[in-house]
Chains A and B, each alone.
Chain A
Amino acid sequence: MKLILKFTLLFLLISLGVFFVGGVITYQVVKKEIDEEQERFLLERLEFFTNWIQKHSPEEAFIREKIQIYPLNAGHETDVVFSDTVVMHRTLERLEPHIKLDVIRAVNGRLYKISLFEIIVEEDDIVDSVRESMIKIYLLLTVVMLVVGSLVGVILFRPFNQTLDQIKNFRLDQNSPLEFSKTGTVEFNKLNSFVQEMTGKIQRDYRSLREFTENASHEMQTPLTNAIGKLELILSSGQLTEENNDRIIATLSTLKHLSKMGNSLNLLTKIDNREFEKIEQVNLSDKLNAAIDNFSELIELKSLDLKSEHEQNVLVAMDATLTTILINNLLSNAIRHNVEHGSIKTFLDQKSLIIKNTGPALGVDPQAMFDRFRKDQRKGDGLGLGLAIVKKICDYSGFQVQYAYENENHKLEILFRK
């Protein structure tokens, strides 16, 4: 529910209570006013009849509608007393509540008991009219609030919606921090400055983290080059025993391994950091054919039989660099984990890319294949990062990747649409 609607409804709910109390108050005020007015009216009439008695000095009781005057022989003067009573209404021909004034007055030396009646405005009538007017006003308020609320909401919340849009489009690797225009609302200004500060800090942290990862990987390469160079110098001196010679060559290969591991981890970090954002329509058929071409010599070297069924012009939306890395990793994997005189089969259509290769069954759980550094212990020379990279690229590009081992074949399937 929209905030402005919530606010309106809450307001209307509270108004309901206020209107109820307001109605009671209105009723009481009106009732009091009417009562006072009626009493004043009766008092005026009392003065009128007092004057009348003064002029006529009636000896008999004088009884008319709404007035009774009785001459008294004994007694004393009293104060004016108001009371309610029920009197037959002449025109309505039914009993109606009346207000009654009773007083005993001495006029021209004689005592008179004077009673005056007046029909009163009934409580029911007042309640009805107060209720009716309150309900009408409340309905009017509701309509006005809803209409005005939705209109004003759009205007008032415009800066807020702009902020939301900016946050939605915010990307970690963009270089400029978020910039908000000044609004006339204190809360929105606070929000904007907070978001601006926060995103700025996130960007700075992200940048330094990225620089650290990159630097760590780069800084490693120069000392590695040093070590490799020195070992090569020793190797070329030609004064080594066979044993030491082998040791140095093994160390060289370890150093290369270390360097590649750094590069692969760096690549994973780069993908995580979303540094490959140039999503375009990549012609996967062309890329795959070109990669197979590049690998063909290695495939021949291992006497592998390659069969390809590729649909032409399969377009997928992804980063071109990642496409190349993905395909190279898949093919490299299929060659490396193959057997001599084995086979590789590649299938490509609009829906999926499948790469099958012969090879011995794995010593690890197929589901764990895509974890970093998870590899078959019997094959100790791989990095254990190849499939982690494949998985990462697929996740990043919105593809699904599955592994299965069927009929002595490793099968990697990449589904382009989830």
Chain B
Amino acid sequence: MSGRKNFKISSKTDRIFVIMKILLVEDNAELAQNMHSYLSKEGYVCEEASTVEQATSKLVGFKYDVMVLDLMLPDGSGLDVLRWAKQEHKDMGILILSAKNSLQDKIEGLELGADDYLPKPFHFSELNARLRAIFRRRQLQGSSTITCEDINIDTETHVVKVNDEMLDLTRKEYEMLLYFVVNKNRVLTKQSIAEHLWGDYIDALDSFDFVYQHIKNLRKKIAQAGGKDSIQTMYGSGYKFEVYQ
């Protein structure tokens, strides 16, 4: 547990850890609980709301860094919360969850100022990666660089350095590395990696074996730069970016 909390973010003030406050607006108690426990382990502080009313009353009283918002709520649409929240808390990041997976909802949500849209069902590692991306975009962690052991990633310039040596990565390799680093010490399935990298186009492939090829290339490049090989193969069906700190 303590190992995971040591996710180190280097910034000018060299803060070791920044507490992120997240409001989970989700009417399904089980899912809210699941996300809560998962995100707590990631070091976030979470609060839950299950209705439009609860959500707005929480937003009146407290300030959150990010709101994870389900669109289908028992007493109304999450879009109403979104509209209201955007006026009151301009700095708050918003991630929409939707069971509908409808293009219209997505466009409307993003036009109203949401940062991202994640259709259900999702991998929790994907949720984590999206939340991190929102933090980075909104500069909530003070800097755009992520350091994890000997790897340094600048998410603005997309430059990756290992021991100060620049890596020449393809876009997919870069995205994959970032996904690993953000979800370090977690088992990532090939499917979740493939979906993260290719999104909906993944349907075109009959197996996720090509993920292996990308990982092989990435490892090779890190090794060539003299970096530590942190990517562990888990019995051939998943991968883990292992960090001991």
State the A residues within 8 Å of B (CB): 214, 217-230, 232-233, 235-236, 238, 242, 245-246, 249, 252-253, 255-256, 259-260, 263, 294-295, 297-298, 301-302, 321, 328, 331-333, 335-336, 379, 381-382, 386
A236-B187, A252-B189, A335-B204 known; A229 vs B103 contact (CB < 8 Å): no
- Residue on B nearest A301 in the bound complex, by CB: B210
Contacting pair A225 B213 (CB below 8 A): no
* Residues of A close to B124: CB separation below 8 A: 228-229, 232-233
Report yes or no: A298 in contact with B201, Cβ–Cβ below 8 A. yes
Smallest CB separation, B81 vs chain A (Å): 17
Q: What residue of chain A has the Cβ atom nearest to residue B122's Cβ?
A: A225
A-B pairs with beta carbons under 8 Å apart, 23 shown? A221-B119, A221-B121, A222-B31, A222-B120, A222-B121, A225-B120, A225-B122, A226-B28, A228-B122, A228-B123, A229-B34, A232-B38, A232-B187, A235-B189, A236-B186, A245-B234, A249-B191, A255-B121, A298-B205, A301-B205, A321-B103, A333-B204, A336-B204
Asked if B55 is an interface residue, CB under 8 A from chain A, the answer is: no
Q: Which 7 A-B pairs have the closest CB atoms?
A: A332-B204, A221-B120, A221-B99, A225-B121, A218-B99, A224-B121, A335-B204
Contacts of B201 in A (CB 8 A): 294-295, 298, 328, 332
| Residue of A with least CB distance to B97 | A225
Contact of A298 among B103, B190, B198 (CB under 8 A): B198
CB of B95 within 8 A of chain A? no
Chain B residue at minimum C-beta to C-beta distance from A235? B187
Decide: B99 and A219 in contact? CB cutoff 8 A: yes
A222 to B32, CA, bound (A): 10
Known: A221-B119, A297-B198, A335-B204. 12 other contacts (CB 8 A): A224-B121, A228-B123, A228-B124, A229-B35, A229-B38, A232-B124, A232-B187, A249-B191, A252-B189, A253-B191, A256-B121, A263-B101
How many residue pairs at the A-B interface have CB separations less than 8 Å? 115
Q: Closest A residue to B119 by CB, please name it.
A: A221
Q: A255-B121, A336-B206 are in contact. Are A226 and B198 (CB under 8 A)?
A: no
Q: A245-B235, A301-B213, A302-B205 are in contact. Are A222 and B99 (CB under 8 A)?
A: yes
- The listed residue with most A CB atoms (<10 A of its CB), out of B120, B121, B191, is B121
- A218's partner among B100, B185, B187, B206 (CB-CB below 8 A) is B100
Residues of B within 8 A of A235 (CB): 187, 189, 238
User: Given the complex, which residues of A lie within 8 Å of B101, measured CB to CB?
Assistant: 221, 263
User: B residues touching A (Cβ–Cβ < 8 Å)?
Assistant: 28, 30-31, 34-35, 37-38, 72, 99-101, 103, 119-125, 172, 185-187, 189-192, 198, 200-201, 203-207, 210, 213, 234-235, 237-238
B235 and A242 contacting across the interface, CB-CB below 8 Å = yes
Residues from chain A with a CB closer than 8 A to the CB of B103 are 321
In the complex, what's the smallest C-beta–C-beta distance from A15 to chain B, in angstroms?
64
Residues of chain A lying within 8 A (CB to CB) of residue B190: 249
Query: Which residue of chain A has the shortest Cβ distance to B202 in the bound complex?
Result: A298
In the complex, chain A residues whose CB is within 8 Å of the CB of B200:
328
CA distance A238 to B3 in the complex (A): 14
With both beta carbons as reference points, the residue of chain A lying nearest to B29 in the complex is identified as A226
A381 to B208, CA, bound (A): 12
Point out the residue from B120, B189, B206, B207 that lies within 8 Å of A224, measured CB to CB: B120
Give every chain A residue within 8 A of B203 (Cβ-Cβ): 260, 332, 336, 386
